A and B are shown apart, each in its own frame.
Chain A
């Protein structure tokens, strides 16, 4: 009976309206004077119009956007659920809605990487009261020290960093033989090297730094090896960016004049700057940082060491080393305890570096029983496929787009970055989610992915990424599509709404770069899986690490063809797995043993040597893909 009328009550305001059976809850609410925002235009795509039914009947088409638990609790999308009887429902406050949406199936929030390694740091610090020498006992200072630690700490063999010797006598005497010793365990548990001696009793944190040298960003996690916990994180752009956006252009830069020295100096300046920043923030001296573990791609580690990178670029792509010796910080010029050891996580090959072995470690892929795909989406995209028994890996040059490079208004995932974009299909007007809730200053990787997906689905761009200038002016948002300096562009935020004073746009050139980036990653996955004879749909778990901020929208990433069209619940987003790998290595010597074992175990697959890669790349340079049979869920939406 289409004419049957029902009463709808909106809570908590208790506003009421009478509407015909079958009305959308959204329209019923509007009739009662309550407007619910529908950023996607009421197509059930964004999940932002959630309401909670407390009483009565609704006709609710099942939406993958809600978890079974949420549906059981009465949550429905008001743009798809219809009145099926007298009904009461709650419209939650905007903020509460946002929180619920973030928890739903499509968006993957970075989950903290759990490290269940036994806490076993190699840096140890202890207080010592040495018996002062006398005529009866006038053994050398160092002998005295060695005898003490052998007796009290069971360290039968203590060596000393040579730089400590000149001040040893003075330090011991000035401190009245009461000192705090910092040692690093070497070899077995009875061997150690003295790396610091300071007067008096030092308590509190033993600082160490886990470093991720990304091509675009450098991140340092400050670690306390006394309590075994991460204290906080600082990050900055890699200042090497002025010498080229990606590893290849940096290597080319390194080959000119004193280019290599410049790159070496820049990365050290970046790291030293961050160490200073974190030390100031936590109020200690940088020389109290006693240990450092560094994860980075092979090129970054070569520059960190100041090694020539030319042979990484030239066939057959050979690094100087994949396993690097552990050296005192002074050897590399790092602003920390000069005797503190600096360890670089091992690489596998020229384009699969310590950032990836770090990821395999921190994501626990190395012990997974599931067929797992691990993706590190940085400027260089790396892929690992395998499980506890075998692992293959490859790398593809994705470009810096997702990290904000090569995109006009691209930026890192910090306050002011647009991290989510919804476009209303009826008006073509965008709704933006901005980190920190401030006026937008640019777009970060997650924002680009959702933006591209929304533009595709609403027809703002074609499947080749061209703006559709043929859209009629009847759409209020049509004015946002306009010719610009870099081809046609779509205005996400007008100058008056932005935090920069100029319009924030996505241009066709940006979109080309994004498509190239996503195509490289997808093609890499496709070619490697095919070579292993593994159909993509047999992958049981996909772990994502890399350049995205706090979360990644899996649905949008599938819609643009960045990720394979697998059920959303197979995806887990881990955030920066590289820095977590470095952290694990500091946290436990067993983790360090594991990362070295994993690095030896991984089989490297050279994409460039595969004739089908270019073909796959062109096929993937389309939205979502030239072969849309690979993306059934997207095909269904685009129809």
Chain B
């Protein structure tokens, strides 16, 4: 007797957000009418994208495994970005960390130069992230925005304190804003509303629900992302933005990925453990609805790429 598979028909659809274009490779994110990879119920027209983090200064506290993997590329964001492209990145995430008051306090001029250099080095879509200090974010993101005018970058992070200036820059220069909120469905929705209220189109917004690494609240992130996605599929326009998750940063900073000594022998080989941490975090969040995962290690890029292919098959 044939078994009839029950089909859930959703009314809503995740927004399709385009990054890149205008001479640069472009990529479309989102567009799902079903839960992640559940193609029985609806469509998942675009594969989740792999973004790779590139910093404008050599990261001071990175794991030796990351440093060994990238080598001298870490000293030059343009070289780093090229290498990331070679490893299979779909998107480059350029973090303007040197603008942080405690890590260089560089300003708009330096930001412009770095962004120009990276944009020239790769033809992939680019996301620019500020140093996570509201005033400095405004300064360097607005500078980056003008440099990349028309190339549909994504600028982040928009938080409740600075969303106006970042979103206004996105409107002016045709970019996408990344709205970041601390693991809460309502706060995520509120920020999307606020950004839309000042005139940025809903399809020019990505949301970063804030990622908890494996063992550090991933189940909380997972459930908030799942609820956001369910709300979108039910038809809530203000939660229909595709989601971006900073997997690499949240994985590599955890004890399990960092600790080289003083841990039980059963924890196994340090590098394998660290890679597994980033990989499992990434795959878990893809399963809860991430449309872009930001990674740090070249080997994880390959791992996640393989996982996505299998899940999409």
Contacts and interface: CB of A to CB of B under 8 A. Distances in A.
Contacts of A619: 186
B164 A622 contact: no
A464 interface: yes
Interface in A347-395: none
A628 B197 CA distance: 13
B185 A622 contact: no
A619 B194 CA distance: 14
A43 interface: no
B27 to A, nearest CB: 30
A618 B184 contact: yes
A626 B186 contact: yes
A463 B187 contact: no
Interface string A604-639: 000000000001001101100011100000000000
B186 A618 contact: yes
A463 B186 contact: no
Nearest to B160: A464
B297 interface: no
Interface of B, helix, strand, loop or mixed by DSSP: helix
Contacts of A627: 189
B213 to A, nearest CB: 23
Interface centre among B160, B190, B194, B198 (most CB of A within 10 A): B190
B43 interface: no
B194 A462 contact: yes
- Interface range on chain A (Cβ under 8 Å from partner): 10 to 19
Contacts of A622: 186, 190, 193
Contact of B197 (A463, A615, A626): A463
Given A464-B160, A470-B164, A618 B193 contact: no
Nearest to B189: A626
Interface residues of B, number: 13
Interface string A435-469: 00000000000000000000000000011101001
Nearest to B231: A627
A618 B184 CA distance: 9
Interface string A257-270: 00000000000000
Contacts of B197: 462-463
A622 B160 CA distance: 12
A347 to B, nearest CB: 33
Interface in B142-190: 160, 164, 168, 184-187, 189-190
B164 A464 contact: no
B124 to A, nearest CB: 33
Contact of A615 (B186, B190, B194, B198): B186
Contacts of B186: 615, 618-619, 621-622, 626
Contacts of A466: 160
A618 B187 contact: yes
Contacts of A626: 186, 189-190, 193
A464 B190 contact: yes
A615 B164 contact: no
Nearest to B168: A470
Interface in B250-265: none
A546 B168 CA distance: 43
A618 B185 CA distance: 9
Nearest to B191: A464
A426 B168 CA distance: 23
A464 B185 contact: no
Contact of B194 (A463, A470, A618, A628): A463
B89 to A, nearest CB: 35
Nearest to A470: B164
28 contacts: A462-B194, A462-B197, A463-B190, A463-B193, A463-B194, A463-B197, A464-B160, A464-B190, A464-B194, A466-B160, A469-B164, A470-B168, A470-B198, A615-B185, A615-B186, A618-B184, A618-B186, A618-B187, A621-B186, A622-B186, A622-B190, A622-B193, A626-B186, A626-B189, A626-B190, A626-B193, A627-B189, A628-B193
Given A462-B197, A463-B193, 15 more contacts: A463-B190, A463-B197, A464-B160, A464-B190, A466-B160, A469-B164, A470-B164, A470-B168, A615-B185, A615-B186, A618-B184, A626-B186, A626-B189, A626-B190, A626-B193
Interface of B: 160, 164, 168, 184-187, 189-190, 193-194, 197-198
Interface of A: 462-464, 466, 469-470, 615, 618-619, 621-622, 626-628
**In the complex, the 6 A-B pairs of residues with the closest C-beta atoms, listed nearest first:** A618-B186, A619-B186, A626-B186, A622-B190, A626-B189, A626-B190
